[in-house]
Amino acid sequence: MIVEILEALFLILTFLMAAYLVRHYVFTLAVLNHTSKRKRAAIITRSDAYQPPVSILIPAHNEERVIGRILQGMTKLTYPKDKMQVIVIDDGSTDNTRKIAEGYAKPHNYIEVIHRNQMDGGKGKASALNAGLKQAEGEIIFCFDADYYPQRDIIEKLVAEFTDPKVGAVQGRVTVLNEPQNVVTRLVALERIGGYRVDQQARDSLGLISQFGGTVGGFRRDLLKSLNGWDESILAEDTDLTFRVYLAGYKIRYVNDAECYEEAVENWSDYWKQRYRWAKGHMQCFFKHSLEVLKSSNLRPREKIDGLLLLGVYFMPILVLFSWVIGVPLLLTRSSQWLSMCWVFIPVSLYSFVGNFAPFFEVGIGAYLDGRTRAYWLIPLLIFTFLYNIPICTKALVDLFISKILGKNCNHWDKTVHTGNGNSYIIN
């Protein structure tokens, strides 16, 4: 009886891995199929007629090494300055973040700084963004992390999507600024290529759930207000807001040529902290929104399927581990034909889940489309990032269950440390 139960579980796990595998293949083929269409669309001149007032929120907690870089980028934006409000939220910083931000605000009247004391600040990005939202006056609210550096015309590219009344939010592309620094930054860059160049683009092209990534994106102010801003109890406030936008009947558009450059984590310790926060927050969103997605009348069947797969993506490393735990004993004790066939599938599916939303073939195709042929040799190393994500996601799930059992919100915002090393890669 126990063996039969384990076999059934193994079959279910294999089916789930197959679903994700097919999903990633479909995404890859969709992007290849739509490449020529995107090239034709890219040559269409964007209209300058629609230039609504915008507010740009930049949350910053102890970001003295990078805050000057993004504010310098803000001063170089080509969007009309009389229609632009830049709000730096000094979120209880104890370093020179406040001084540097005020140094930019003084000569530029469209830049302002909000100071939060140490009691109110330092509680996470969602809390800081909500504080900034109270002061935002623009029709469109944009968000940029403090370690980012935007294209000069990025606001024009992003705001153009809001001419469609069905669009409630927009997401640009994240590219790694400090990629050449070491192996970790190079692998993160590959993850970003697969995750944005292919995964995000495919969702947009196929009319699925395009995801707001927490930065390099914007929302209609009225919609954001009606949703009560960011949920401060969720670590993945971006994923949470993504689903609240779709459940409210709006769409999110992805703009691949609206690039912004980030300073990626530089070591495995910071990688762990960042991905742990993403994993736990994503799991929180799964338990919060799964049932709502299934019942929603604003989502089409294909959006519901994609939404559930998106919500469950951080469970996959754990499920792969579980499939090994129950699959190896079954393979050693029984040799049924269907079990052997499932095991043939395991190595294929394993290599399809490397990275964060960036499977092996998505990274490869993304690098190909970007002309990044010299990056190919690093792709096999992404298997190690997947293996590293197994204990990360497992710990995130265990901690989440413990917090549920205790009935406490045990969220701790572990801030990503930015060194400012990305500054050396900017060409002025």
pLDDT block averages, 10 residues each, the chain of length 428: 76 80 84 66 55 96 94 96 96 93 95 90 88 95 95 95 96 93 91 89 94 94 96 93 97 95 93 94 95 96 94 88 77 63 56 49 80 80 85 93 79 76 70
What residue has token string 């754990």?
318
Amino acid 345: pLDDT: 57
Q: Which phi and psi (to 5°) does residue 427 adopt?
A: -100, 115
Q: Note the helical H segments in 170-315.
A: 183-192, 201-206, 221-226, 237-247, 268-295, 301-311
Amino acid 136: pLDDT: 95
Amino acid 176: pLDDT: 93
pTM, two decimal places: 0.90
Amino acid 321: pLDDT: 82
Amino acid 396: pLDDT: 94
**Structure tokens that stand for 166 in this block:** 């069905």
Using the Cα atoms of residue 249, residue 255, residue 261 and residue 263 in order, give the sign of their dihedral. Answer: positive
Q: How far apart are CA 219 and CA 377, in angstroms?
A: 38
Q: Which of 174, 206, 207, 204 is nearest to 191 (CA)?
A: 174
Q: Which phi and psi (to 5°) does residue 116 adopt?
A: -110, 135
Amino acid 336: pLDDT: 60
Amino acid 20: pLDDT: 82
Longest dimension (CA), the chain: 75
